[in-house]
Structure 1
Amino acid sequence: MNRIRRTAYVALSAFGCIVFIGLCAILTGAPLLFPSLGPTAFLVFASPDAPGASPRNTVLGHLAGVLAGLTGLAATGLLTASPDLTHPSWARVGAAALALGVTCAAMAALGTPHPPAGATTLIIALGLLHTPSQILAVLIGVLLIALLAVLINKLFGVPYPWWRGVAETSAVVVSGDSG
């Protein structure tokens, strides 16, 4: 695929995913559309062969982000607190830092890197989406984008895994760590 076609494919595929998920959000009144789906959409269409773009890493990475975000909120007593982006407390900073650290550790340990999941964990830990119905909507949004990525990439003949990418490893190797 030449550069112009590739650019159009990436842009229109990401656009279509967000429109579809946005329409579902409008029809259901659920927050299915949230910021970290943007970089996920870019990744799955611009670099579909990257390990972090696989459906497995997309779903498990965002799931780790959600669970770690909730862990950060619970550990700091902020599960029911309102978001406070303009005047954050030390508890909120702690929730965000803990959540991001746990998300990174989980993705590294499980061999499921998906960088946009770091944004998902902050969305949760900062209290922007934290109720049970909002958490369910986030997870449904992730499943939708993973499914759409498979369908669109397969439809247009772009090599893309059904679940796990060929190049994925079982763990992330840190520089200087031989195993």
Structure 2
Amino acid sequence: MVHWRHRSLTAAALSGMVLGTIGLLGWGIGQPLLIPSLGPSIYLHTLTPHLASARAGNTFLGHLIGLLTGVAAVYLTGANIVPSVMSAEQLTWPRIAAAVIALVSSVGIQAGLKIQHPPAAATTLLVALGAIDPTWHGIGTVLLGISLLTILGGGVRRFSLVRSD
């Protein structure tokens, strides 16, 4: 029991350090590098480092697929010309269609490529519902945040794997 408690505290501290670092870097460059789906990603890296879904490749590629399928679905359905769900505080048919198309596409592509990273489904929905700007600037900002999480998360994953032995 003490072992699990110590591991939990270590995982919590590492998670906070990684997200704090990304947040501070984003603040320093004036870009919102933190998105909600990075939280579950770092959780996987620190608490379940042995799972395939915690691997760096799965993390980056999963989020990339989620991001790109979300962007494609937004433009395919015309959701880019309706307000985001968060600002309008209501769902519109284009946003619902974008969410469904993006999620089905993201899950299908990840499964077909044997890439397992469930938090990427949140990235897909963040784009489809309008929380992430589907422009080049928005895509670049999210990619930078995902890249930092992948790099830093990979480091804490390796540390967590060593500590769990």
**Is TM (by shorter chain) over 0.5?**
yes
Write the letter of the residue equivalent to 1:148.
Answer: L
Equivalenced residue count is: 159
Classify the secondary structure of the residue corresponding to 1:113: coil
- Alignment partner, residue 106 of structure 2: 103
> Structure 1: how far apart are the matches of 2:47 and 2:56?
14
Is the 1:51–1:57 contact (alpha carbons within 8 Å) kept by the matching residues of 2? Answer: yes
Is the 1:37–1:142 contact (alpha carbons within 8 Å) kept by the matching residues of 2? Answer: yes
Greater CA drift, 121-130 or 78-87: 78-87
- Alignment partner, residue 15 of structure 1: 16
> Structure 1: how far apart are the matches of 2:111 and 2:94?
25
Which sections of structure 1, spanning at least 5 residues, go unmatched?
Answer: 161-179
The partner residue of 2:155 within 140, 144, 151 is 151
Deviation at 1:78, TM superposition (A): 2.2
Question: Structure 2 length normalisation: TM-score?
Answer: 0.90
Give matches, 1:28-177, under 5 Å: 28-85=29-86, 86-130=89-133, 131-154=135-158, 156=159, 158-159=161-162
Structure with the bigger percentage of helix? 2
Deviation at 1:143, TM superposition (A): 0.9
> Structure 2: how far apart are the matches of 1:116 and 1:70?
17
Is the 2:33–2:141 contact (alpha carbons within 8 Å) kept by the matching residues of 1? Answer: yes
Question: Structure 1 length normalisation: TM-score?
Answer: 0.83
Q: Relative to 1, partners in 2 of residues 1:125 and 1:32: Cα closer, same or farther, differing over 3 Å?
A: same
CA RMSD of aligned residues (A): 1.7
Is the 1:49–1:159 contact (alpha carbons within 8 Å) kept by the matching residues of 2? Answer: no
> Structure 2: how far apart are the matches of 1:152 and 1:99?
30
Deviation at 1:17, TM superposition (A): 0.7
> Structure 2: how far apart are the matches of 1:57 and 1:153?
13
> Structure 2: how far apart are the matches of 1:84 and 1:157?
37
Is the 2:11–2:46 contact (alpha carbons within 8 Å) kept by the matching residues of 1? Answer: yes
Q: Which runs of 4+ in 1 moved over 3 A?
A: none
Which sections of structure 2, spanning at least 5 residues, go unmatched?
Answer: none
**Identity between Structure 1 and Structure 2 (%):** 35
